[in-house]
């Protein structure tokens, strides 16, 4: 991480509750930093232990952070919401973006909502990257969703299940969820494809737990 990026991360962003906007990863002897990311819903708490190689800037609880104010608060396009957590990773001088959403159950409508959150987070993070003075190409953007159960059902051909996001053709949501890509993320003027990994978490006495290594 160069001097400008470190300075920008420390000085150019508003604090939240007396804390810096970004949390700088503390690198251990193995050249990784680790954080336990959490999210709670009515079905319990999810803990995802994330280890990142190299230097990193963390936006923990990104959905509760201040965002770029120029985006329309449109429910139609989902621009009023964002993903739970974000990590900017610098490995061997190359920057990567990791966008993380923690869920318990994923079904067709949930998955549509999650993709809208990814899109808004992507927009905001690209703007943040400019302020930080870093470049992240789309092939270095990764999205992740945790889940305990899938709730698509055997039949995903009903009109409600297949109703597309505005401007997109109808697709089988199960295929979309399983193919390792966000292939229904409309980003005008052209469609962008991002890598997506689904992470199945395990229910324990302390809630749902899982691991991610970047």
Query: CA dihedral defined by 89, 90, 95, 97, rounded to 10 degrees?
Result: 0
> Per the confidence metrics, is the pTM higher than 0.85?
yes
Instruction: For residue 115, give every residue at least 6 positions away whose Cβ sits within 8 Å of its Cβ, in sequence order, or none.
Output: 165, 182, 184, 185
pLDDT (tens digit, 9 = 90+) per residue, 185-197? 666 566 778 899 9
pLDDT (tens digit, 9 = 90+) per residue, 2-32? 899 999 999 998 887 788 889 999 888 789 9
Tens digit of pLDDT at every position of the chain (214 positions):
889 999 999 999 888 778 888 999 988 878 999 999 999 877 789 999 999 999 999 999 998 887 777 777 777 777 778 899 999 999 999 999 999 999 999 988 888 889 889 988 999 999 999 999 999 999 999 999 999 999 876 444 455 555 555 555 556 666 778 888 886 666 656 677 889 999 999 999 989 999 999 9
Domain ranges of the chain: 3-213
């Amino acid at each position: 991480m160069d001097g400008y990026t470190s300075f920008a991360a420390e000085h150019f962003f508003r604090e939240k509750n007396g804390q810096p906007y970004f949390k700088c990863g503390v690198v251990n002897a193995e050249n990784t930093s680790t954080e336990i990311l959490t999210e709670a819903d009515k079905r319990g708490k999810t803990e995802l232990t994330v280890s990142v190689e190299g230097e990193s800037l963390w936006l923990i609880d990104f959905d509760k952070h201040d965002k770029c104010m120029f985006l329309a608060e449109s429910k139609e396009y989902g621009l009023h919401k964002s993903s739970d957590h974000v990590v900017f990773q610098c490995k061997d001088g190359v920057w990567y973006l990791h966008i993380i959403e923690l869920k318990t159950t994923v079904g067709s409508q949930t998955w549509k909502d999650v993709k809208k959150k990814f899109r808004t987070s992507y927009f905001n993070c690209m703007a943040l990257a400019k302020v930080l003075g870093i470049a992240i190409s789309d092939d270095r953007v990764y999205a992740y969703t945790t889940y305990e159960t899938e709730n698509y059902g055997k039949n995903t051909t009903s009109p409600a299940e297949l109703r597309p996001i505005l401007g997109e053709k109808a697709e089988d949501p199960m295929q979309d969820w399983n193919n390792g890509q966000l292939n229904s993320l409309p980003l005008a003027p052209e469609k962008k494809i991002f890598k997506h990994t689904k992470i199945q978490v395990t229910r324990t006495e302390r809630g749902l737990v899982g691991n991610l290594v970047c």
